[in-house]
Amino acid sequence: MAAGQEALIKFYKKEEERNSIPIFIEKSFAFTFKKNRITGRFDCIEKDQNGVAITDFKTSEIKKQKDADKRARESLQLSLYALAYQNIFGELPRRLKLYFLESGLIGTSEINQEDLIKTEEIIENVSGGIRQRNFSATPTYLACTYCAYNQICPDANPK
Would you say residue 125 lies in a domain?
yes
Would you say residue 158 lies in a domain?
no
Would you say residue 156 lies in a domain?
no
Would you say residue 66 lies in a domain?
yes
Give residue 119's pLDDT. Answer: 95
- Convert the pLDDT of each residue in 36-55 to its tens digit: 999 999 999 999 888 999 99
Q: What mean pLDDT, rounded, does the chain reach?
A: 89
Whether 84 shows a pLDDT value over 60: the answer reads yes
Mean pLDDT of the 102-112 span = 93
Give residue 158's pLDDT. Answer: 67
Give residue 52's pLDDT. Answer: 95
The CATH number linked to 134 is: 3.90.320.10
Would you say residue 157 lies in a domain?
no
Are the C-beta atoms of residues 135 and 149 closer than 8 Å to each other? no
Give residue 9's pLDDT. Answer: 79
| Share above pLDDT 90 across residues of the chain, in percent, rounded to a whole number | 58
Number of domains in the chain: 1
Q: What is the pTM of this model?
A: 0.83
- Convert the pLDDT of each residue in 11-23 to its tens digit: 777 777 776 789 9
Residues in the chain: 159
Structural domain that includes position 32:
2-146
Are the C-beta atoms of residues 63 and 103 closer than 8 Å to each other? yes
Are the C-beta atoms of residues 79 and 119 closer than 8 Å to each other? yes
Region of 98 (left: φ > 0; alpha: ψ -120 to 50; beta: rest) is beta
Listed in sequence order, the residues at least 6 apart from 58 whose beta carbon sits closer than 8 Å to its beta carbon are: 71, 98, 99, 100, 101
| Share above pLDDT 70 across residues of the chain, in percent, rounded to a whole number | 97
> Where is pLDDT greater, at 140 or 106?
106
Mean pLDDT of the 136-153 span = 82
DSSP strand E in 49-143: where? Answer: 51-58, 95-100, 106-109
> Where is pLDDT greater, at 99 or 6?
99
pLDDT band at 159 (very low <50, low <70, confident <90, very high): low
**DSSP code at position 90:** S
- If residue 38 lies in a helix (H) or strand (E), which one and from where to where? strand 36-48
Mean pLDDT of the 133-147 span = 81
Are the C-beta atoms of residues 46 and 55 closer than 8 Å to each other? yes
Distance CA(10)–CA(143), nearest Å, equals 31
Region of 54 (left: φ > 0; alpha: ψ -120 to 50; beta: rest) is beta
Would you say residue 10 lies in a domain?
yes
Are the C-beta atoms of residues 119 and 127 closer than 8 Å to each other? no
